[in-house]
């Protein structure tokens, strides 16, 4: 099942370049829809709470102990579902993205989906490393080939950061071979590596290699600087695939490999990692407030959110780990909606600058409503799904240390500032920033005096009124995301039923951490009648 799930989009990516350009979009959407069906079928076959399932294992490079091994547990199946849902939504929403080279665009999109699925399903560390690095190929060409001016430099910066992390990871992968060889037959299977007796010193060095690579991928402060440049220059659809799918590999790896293989080293590094996570939460939010480019702003909000996810992972409680897994899913849904609606606005205004928008609420009430819901989800409004995961992480943070929770809570306040201020500048006000667009130069205009002022106001009103609202196709594309935000906001139990058993098993069996039992005060003798 998992091999077929990976092969369908991969074969689609290989076939599309040879098809007529006019059919590339429809074929790609059809392939991604078929992959969605297979992903849902795999989810229905998954037995909640029963560990690794749907496993496949074939010897690949026997002398090195390398296997083609696939499987999914609670974490893996949720990431698989997130990937297969996001991809067709992005293709449908970004209808006009990649029009200059549709075959290349959709082939790389399907390749990125296939390789991401392989990452989330790999249960052999060497296989994981291969597909982990391979995801950079379609990602690089999607960023560098499509987007706005400066995308080439952004793609190169993205690639350099990711390759640097990959090289550090490779050193640790080689180290695992040495350690496993010294204790018998070499093996890269996750189940074998978890049973290794790794010395404290070796475990900590190997952990650092894995964690650095995952911190870059996530990203986490201070190795995050590629993120904003990439989301600013890439198309909104590509940004969704990078931030909502590809970057999840970082936090996925922290749970699967850092905690799963190096539990002692993970606990040893906790004070540093928690500090970096808190800095990411606050710094990402503060920098987002200052942004004028809407895509750059949304990208930086993810730095803050990945800080929350990392914090939930490294406070070492079932509540925190389950909240982090839930946060990975909910962040993918909410941020995807935010990016895609922003893309709709950019296609209408021809600019990504917030200062050149304004007053669009009356002309585009549906788009304004969609942006508001996505924005409120981003800031963690109760009733929308990110609130549940954020609440769980914060509870675990306060339980870990009061000062960690206190600093992390400020991220919620700052999120309200950057989301609501962004909405206000784009949708409310007189719309005077649009005046410059009427003169054909695409720059913000300025109110003059006398007759010129009146003509400018007329031009502004005319320009605002002619901006079209969301089309049925655009509404249809983001509707599943909006439904999920509300559904899992009021009823998160289906996600918790999958994440909780995984978190409990990871912490208790692999890390050896047991949640503190609740403290119950002794009953008063007078109340009991004794």
Give pLDDT tens digits for 293-327: 889 999 999 899 999 999 999 998 888 899 999 99
Backbone angles phi, psi at 283, to 5 degrees: -65, -45
Structure tokens at 49: 């709470």
Q: Which sign does the torsion angle of CA 282, 215, 128, 513 carry?
A: negative
Q: Residue 446 pLDDT > 60, yes or no?
A: no
pLDDT, tens digit, 9 for 90 and up, residues 229-246: 898 888 898 999 999 998
Structure tokens at 147: 């987007």
CB neighbours of residue 289 within 10 Å: 16
59: enclosing H helix or E strand: strand 53-61
Instruction: Quote the pLDDT of residue 455.
Output: 44
Beta-bridge partners for 198: none
The answer to whether the beta carbons of residues 224 and 66 sit under 8 Å apart is no
> Percentage of the chain with pLDDT > 90?
46
The answer to whether the beta carbons of residues 121 and 130 sit under 8 Å apart is no
Residue 520: which pLDDT band, with cuts at 50, 70 and 90? low
Task: Measure CA of the first residue to CA of the last residue in the chain; give whole Å.
Answer: 63
Q: Residue 192 pLDDT > 80, yes or no?
A: yes
Residue with tokens 């021809």: 350
pLDDT, tens digit, 9 for 90 and up, residues 407-441: 999 998 999 998 998 888 888 876 544 433 433 33
The answer to whether the beta carbons of residues 297 and 217 sit under 8 Å apart is no
The answer to whether the beta carbons of residues 304 and 415 sit under 8 Å apart is yes
The answer to whether the beta carbons of residues 4 and 54 sit under 8 Å apart is no
Instruction: Quote the pLDDT of residue 82.
Output: 94
Q: Residue 388 pLDDT > 60, yes or no?
A: yes
Distance CA 9, CA 109 (A): 9
Q: Residue 180 pLDDT > 50, yes or no?
A: yes
Does 262 or 510 have the greater pLDDT score? 262
Distances (CA, A) of 311 to 334, 377, 416: 19, 19, 20
Mean pLDDT, the chain, whole residue set: 85
189 in helix, strand or coil?
strand
What predicted TM-score, i.e. pTM, was given to this entire model? 0.88
CA angle 285/290/292 to nearest 5° reads 120
61 in helix, strand or coil?
strand
Residue 336: which pLDDT band, with cuts at 50, 70 and 90? very high
Distance CA 492, CA 486 (A): 10
* DSSP assignment of 279-347: HHHHHHHHHHHT--BHHHHHHHHHHHHHHHHHHHHHT--HHHHHHHHHHHHHHHHHHHHHHHHHHHHHH
Using CA atoms of 253, 258, 261, 267 in order, give the dihedral in degrees to the nearest 10: -160
3-state DSSP: the chain helix, strand, coil percent, rounded to 5? Answer: 75, 5, 20
Closest CA to 274 of 323, 301, 313: 313
Check residue 428 and give left, alpha or beta (phi > 0: left; psi -120 to 50: alpha): beta
Check residue 53 and give left, alpha or beta (phi > 0: left; psi -120 to 50: alpha): beta
71: enclosing H helix or E strand: strand 66-72
422: enclosing H helix or E strand: helix 402-427
Q: Which sign does the torsion angle of CA 322, 324, 325, 327 carry?
A: positive
Instruction: Quote the pLDDT of residue 521.
Output: 63
Check residue 484 and give left, alpha or beta (phi > 0: left; psi -120 to 50: alpha): alpha
Does 306 or 96 have the greater pLDDT score? 306
Distance CA 367, CA 337 (A): 11
Residue 474: which pLDDT band, with cuts at 50, 70 and 90? confident
Instruction: Quote the pLDDT of residue 517.
Output: 54
Which of 161-170, 190-199, 239-248, 456-465 comes out lowest in average pLDDT? 456-465
Beta-bridge partners for 56: 70
Distance CA 305, CA 217 (A): 14
The answer to whether the beta carbons of residues 392 and 320 sit under 8 Å apart is yes
22: enclosing H helix or E strand: helix 21-45
pLDDT, tens digit, 9 for 90 and up, residues 12-68: 999 999 888 888 888 999 999 999 999 999 999 988 877 888 889 998 888 888 899
CA angle 13/15/19 to nearest 5° reads 120
Distance CA 249, CA 218 (A): 7
Instruction: Quote the pLDDT of residue 436.
Output: 37
Instruction: Quote the pLDDT of residue 510.
Output: 73
> Percentage of the chain with pLDDT > 70?
90
Structure tokens at 205: 């060095």
Instruction: Quote the pLDDT of residue 364.
Output: 83
CA angle 411/416/421 to nearest 5° reads 130
Closest CA to 179 of 154, 210, 200: 200
């Amino acid at each position: 099942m998992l091999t077929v799930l990976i092969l369908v989009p991969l074969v689609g990516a290989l076939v599309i370049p040879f098809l007529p350009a006019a059919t590339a979009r429809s074929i790609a959407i059809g392939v991604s829809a078929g992959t969605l069906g297979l992903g849902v079928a795999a989810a229905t076959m998954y037995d909640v709470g029963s560990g690794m399932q749907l496993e496949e294992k074939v010897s690949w490079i026997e002398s090195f102990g390398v296997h083609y091994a696939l499987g999914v547990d609670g974490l893996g199946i949720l990431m698989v579902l997130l990937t297969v849902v996001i991809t067709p939504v992005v293709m449908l929403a970004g209808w006009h993205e990649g029009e200059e080279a549709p075959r290349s665009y959709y082939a790389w999109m399907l390749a990125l989906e296939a390789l991401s699925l392989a990452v989330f399903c790999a249960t052999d560390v060497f296989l994981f490393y291969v597909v982990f690095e391979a995801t950079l190929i379609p990602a690089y060409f999607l960023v560098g080939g499509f987007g706005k001016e400066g995308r080439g430099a952004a793609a190169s910066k993205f690639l350099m950061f990711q390759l640097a992390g990959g090289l550090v990871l490779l050193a640790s992968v080689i180290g695992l071979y040495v350690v496993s060889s010294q204790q018998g037959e070499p093996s890269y299977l996750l189940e074998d590596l978890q049973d290794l007796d790794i010395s404290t010193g070796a475990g900590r060095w190997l952990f650092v290699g894995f964690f650095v690579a995952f911190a870059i991928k996530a990203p986490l402060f201070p190795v995050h600087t590629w993120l904003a440049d990439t989301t600013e220059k890439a198309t909104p659809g590509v940004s969704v695939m990078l931030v909502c799918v590809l970057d999840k590999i970082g936090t996925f790896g922290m749970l699967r490999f850092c905690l799963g293989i190096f539990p002692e080293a993970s606990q040893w590094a906790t004070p540093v990692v928690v500090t970096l996570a808190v800095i990411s939460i606050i710094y990402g939010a503060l920098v987002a407030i200052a942004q004028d480019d809407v895509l750059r702003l949304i990208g930086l909000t993810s730095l803050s959110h990945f800080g929350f996810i990392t914090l939930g992972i490294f406070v070492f409680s079932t509540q925190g780990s389950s909240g982090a897994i839930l946060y990975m899913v909910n962040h993918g849904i909410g941020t995807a909606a935010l990016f895609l609606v922003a893309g709709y606005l950019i296609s209408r205004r021809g600019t990504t600058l917030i200062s050149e928008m304004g007053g669009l609420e009356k002309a585009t009430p549906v788009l304004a409503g969609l942006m508001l819901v996505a924005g409120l989800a981003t800031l963690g409004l109760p009733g929308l799904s990110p609130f549940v995961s954020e609440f769980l992480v914060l509870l675990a943070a306060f339980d870990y240390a009061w000062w960690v929770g206190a600093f992390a809570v400020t991220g919620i306040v700052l999120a309200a500032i950057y989301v609501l201020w962004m909405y206000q500048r784009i949708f409310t006000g007189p719309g005077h920033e649009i005046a410059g667009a009427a003169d054909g130069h695409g720059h913000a205009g300025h109110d003059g005096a006398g007759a010129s002022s009146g003509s400018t106001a007329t031009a502004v009103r005319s320009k605002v009124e002619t901006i079209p609202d969301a089309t049925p196709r655009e509404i249809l594309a983001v509707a599943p995301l909006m439904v999920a935000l509300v559904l899992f906001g009021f009823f998160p139990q289906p996600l918790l039923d999958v994440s909780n058993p995984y978190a409990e098993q990871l912490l208790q069996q692999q890390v050896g951490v047991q949640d503190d039992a609740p403290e119950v005060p002794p009953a008063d003798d007078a109340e009991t009648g004794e």
